[in-house]
Amino acid sequence: MSLPQPVRGTHDLLPEDYLRHAHVRETAREMASRFGYAEMATPIFEFTEVFARTMGESSDVVSKEMYSFESRSGESMTLRPEYTAGICRAFISNGLQQNVPFKAFAAGPMFRYERPQKGRQRQFHQIDVECIGAAEAKADIEVIAVGASILHKLGVLEHCTLEINTLGDQESREAYRAALVDYFSDHKSSLSKDSLDRLGRNPLRILDSKDKGDRILVENAPLFTDYLNSFSSEFFAEVLDGLSLLGINYELNRRLVRGLDYYTHTAFEFVTTALGAQGAVIAGGRYDGLIEMLGGKPTPGIGWAGGIERLAMLMDDVPIAERPIAIVPVGETAEAFTAKLAYQLRQEGLNIEMAFKGNVGKRMKRANKLNARAAVLIGEDELARNVCSLRDLDQGEQSEIPLSELSAALGALG
């Protein structure tokens, strides 16, 4: 019988990997909080309609990538492939319309049936920021600034480029859609099957095609900027001016689009080539039509999602776990006392390691293997005198101190 393996597209997060992931998550939580984004969570699965209605039945995510199942009551459920739709659903179902702007941060696992590759798994993890109820360009600037601040705090901003574009308002979008239909209709014979299917439903999705023949056609397709009305142009200019004011560098990418109908105005990605082929580590945009699509009142919104796996891979420095203090009983007489001492020190906030068995030599070897900062040795003689031996494992020095001073001495270690 072969040894059990994780399901294809999933992976175990062992302690060192988990430390990197946790560092990304905690850094993002801290920086988002500074901007007033409070953490929340939605269920890992939702009614399938939440995603199908918002992402579109014809989208690749809905038609090919979602993990859906039927509940015992016969209802279709789906493991969340992204956070935005679930957070917007929560905004509606919890009656948060009076709390706008509603600013949320979230982090957790997502599920998509994709071809596993570097930085992309079928169970993956994201950080997510959403600002719901703010129509002003200042919200776009802030949301992007949150992302830039997180990347800076992680030490990876220098490896990333902010690419940005505008999708305009609904009027501009309809004019551009008509132009794309005219253009691609003249090249139907060269379009891939998927793009032919998209031509009638949502031609903007053709711009995202990975087919080589489609990419050649896309290079000469009309540009969105040629169909923007004055309001959309002014809105985008305000966003760019705001980013410049904050010192956030960007590059215009006129081919950057979002194919879903609820997206408007700002679309952006922080991309990197440090992981091989260019890929996005944070991607987002304004989705002013999404809440209405879910059955709520028309409410503007903007947000982004970032891949924790990719961000963790970008980090040069591995976060260092807190080094423990080893408690080492010398002889059986001290076993019970040191177990109680270890428990008390843990309650005081210290990271204490105490082996379950072994002589002094074996326990000290384990302390060194765990990179312990110091070791506290207590035997029958030390117990009788209410003292202990404190060994500094970095300096190699050992001193005897009263047990009443042990907590303070451990706290003073660098």
The answer to whether the CB of 180 falls within 8 A of the CB of 221 is yes
Q: Single out the residue of 341, 283, 78, 243 nearest to residue 160, CA to CA.
A: 283
**Unique residue bearing structure tokens 């597209």:** 9
Task: Reduce the DSSP state of residue 104 to 3 states and report it.
Answer: strand
Tell me if 227 is assigned to a ligand binding site: no
The answer to whether the CB of 303 falls within 8 A of the CB of 84 is yes
Q: How far is CA 189 from CA 103, 135, 213, in A?
A: 46, 41, 10
Tell me if 385 is assigned to a ligand binding site: no
* Cα–Cα distance for residue pair 194/191, rounded to 1 Å: 8
Tell me if 26 is assigned to a ligand binding site: no
- Contacts of residue 77, Cβ cutoff 8 Å, sequence gap at least 6: 45, 46, 47, 48, 68, 69, 70, 71
Q: H helices of 61-114, where?
A: 84-93
The answer to whether the CB of 106 falls within 8 A of the CB of 41 is yes
* Cα–Cα distance for residue pair 152/231, rounded to 1 Å: 32
Q: What one-character DSSP code corresponds to residue 205?
A: G
Tell me if 83 is assigned to a ligand binding site: yes
- Contacts of residue 28, Cβ cutoff 8 Å, sequence gap at least 6: 105, 107, 127, 150, 306
Tell me if 126 is assigned to a ligand binding site: yes
Q: Single out the residue of 363, 312, 307 nearest to residue 335, CA to CA.
A: 363
Tally of CB atoms within 10 A around 77: 16
The two structure tokens encoding residue 100? 């706008």
Tell me if 82 is assigned to a ligand binding site: yes
**Unique residue bearing structure tokens 């109908």:** 261
Q: Strands 279-286, 301-307: parallel, antiparallel or unpaired by DSSP? A: antiparallel
* Cα–Cα distance for residue pair 143/134, rounded to 1 Å: 11
Q: How far is CA 391 from CA 204, 336, 346, 377, in A?
A: 67, 21, 19, 8
Q: How far is CA 45 from CA 52, 161, 214, 342, in A?
A: 13, 33, 35, 41
Tell me if 84 is assigned to a ligand binding site: yes
- CA–CA–CA angle 237, 268, 304 (5° rounding): 120
Residues of each annotated binding site for L-histidine: 82-84, 112, 126, 130, 258, 262-263
Residues of each annotated binding site: 82-84, 112, 126, 130, 258, 262-263
